[in-house]
Amino acid sequence: MISHPLLYLFSLASIVTVFYLLESKTSLKVFKLIPIVVFIYATSMLLAAFGLFDVNAEINSIYKQTKTNLLPAMLFLMLLQLDLKHFLKLGKSLLIAYVLAVVSIALGFIVVAILFDFTSPMSGAFGALAGSWLGGTANMIAVGSALNVTEEAFAYALVVDSVNYTLWVMLLLFLVPFAHKFNKFTKSSENLNYLTDIACACNMGAKRYWLLILLALGISFLTQYLSSRFVIINTTTSMVIFASILGVIGSFTKLRDLNGSSELSTSMLYLLIALIGSHAVIESFSGLALYVLAGGCILFIHALIMLVGAKVFKLDLFSIAVASLANIGGIASAPILAAAYNKSLVSVGVLMAIIGYIIGTFGGFLVGNILIGLSQ
């Protein structure tokens, strides 16, 4: 049993490292279907269930401190990648498709919450899931923390996310060969040539980690100070909001050109996932099938609204499919789908996914509060 706090953190970092190496250094196809965060979370949770991590004051303290310090730092670095100028160049069809995707997903959560009559713990968990499906896993953690979602409820949300996400990716990739027939049905012009000139401004190669780490830790300290002085609902919510605002502001400066913010924020995300998993002790997965079904119903409502919107606004399949996956799948899968249509359109998928980083936090928090209100 691990009882020393530093050994506890080292164990979690080792889990992250092992799965990162398996994903990046091997050709295992399983990582293309199931996100790496699921493996990290499940492994950490199983080790906790087998009693590997002692439950003592020192470990609980370092858990809270690490989570509190990493969350705003991760959000800030993640949002530095925003490029609103290039996003607005995507054109009318893609922008309409993106708005349709955001609105339809949010409505799907609200309608399903009413139909399934979520209890209070799961309403918050589905609020965190809304953060993921409007942005990404990082937004899921941010929204879940702001809504005080328990580790057990978060585990349910992560399973629902993984199952439905995998099926959704497979469906959208399956539909690629039918793009011409779909576009004929919606009477779309199907002209994507202008998109090949749009480049993603986010740099993926990392050379300046030391400066980014210093900057991220400084922002973390600043957001914690501000959240203690200016409380918005609660201190965690305040911290998330201030970190997001500072990240958006930073994206308009030369800080956005610093290489490595994507890799560093992803590393923090993986460690946060492992942390949360290590405290998720689940007695049973009762009702899980019902929650997975609820997630499927959300996607069905989303698909129906997207289909109607495509017909009304004469949108092509590429626009609505990439807009959908940019929200539900995020940066890990939207570029893959875009490349399935045309390899020169990969940057379009990246841009649409990155813009979800800000939509996911604020949109997920709004949807989550609506769901919690409906459960009372």
Q: State pLDDT tens for residues 59-104.
A: 888 888 888 888 889 888 888 877 777 777 777 888 899 999 999 9
Query: In whole angstroms, what is the distance from residue 260 CA to residue 102 CA?
Result: 28
Average pLDDT over residues 46-59: 84
Q: For residue 5, how far is the Cα from the chain centroid?
A: 28
Given a cut of 80, whether residue 374 has pLDDT beyond it is yes
Distance CA 144, CA 132 (A): 10
The pLDDT mean for the chain works out to: 83
State the distance between the two ends of the chain, measured CA to CA, in whole angstroms.
40
Q: How much is the pLDDT for 204?
A: 45
More confident residue, 45 or 257: 45
pLDDT at 49: 80
Tell me, what DSSP letter sits at residue 343? G
Sign of CA dihedral 100, 198, 321, 35: negative
Overall average pLDDT of the 6-20 stretch: 91
- pTM here? 0.79
| 98 and 322 Cβ atoms separated by less than 8 Å | no
Of 123-132, 183-192, 361-370, the one with minimum mean pLDDT is 183-192
DSSP character string of 40-95: HHHHHHHHHHTT-B---HHHHHHHHHHHHHHHHHHHHHHHTT--HHHHHTT-HHHH
pLDDT computed for residue 298 by the predictor = 95
Q: Which has more pLDDT, 109 or 87?
A: 109
Task: Evaluate whether 275 touches 67 at the Cβ level (below 8 Å).
Answer: yes
CA distance 279 to 45: 7
Return the exposure string of 153-167: e unless at least 16 CB atoms fall within 10 Å of the residue's CB, then b.
bbbbbbbbbbbbbbe
Each domain of the chain, given as residue ranges in start order, spans 5-375
Question: Taking the CB of residue 33, how many other CB atoms lie within 10 A of it?
Answer: 12
- pLDDT value at residue 108: 94
Q: What is the pLDDT of residues 281-297, one digit of tens each?
A: 665 566 778 888 999 99
For residues 361 and 132, the answer to whether their CB atoms sit within 8 Å is no
| Between 201 and 299, the higher pLDDT residue | 299
Closest-CA residue to 147 (of 234, 247, 64):
234
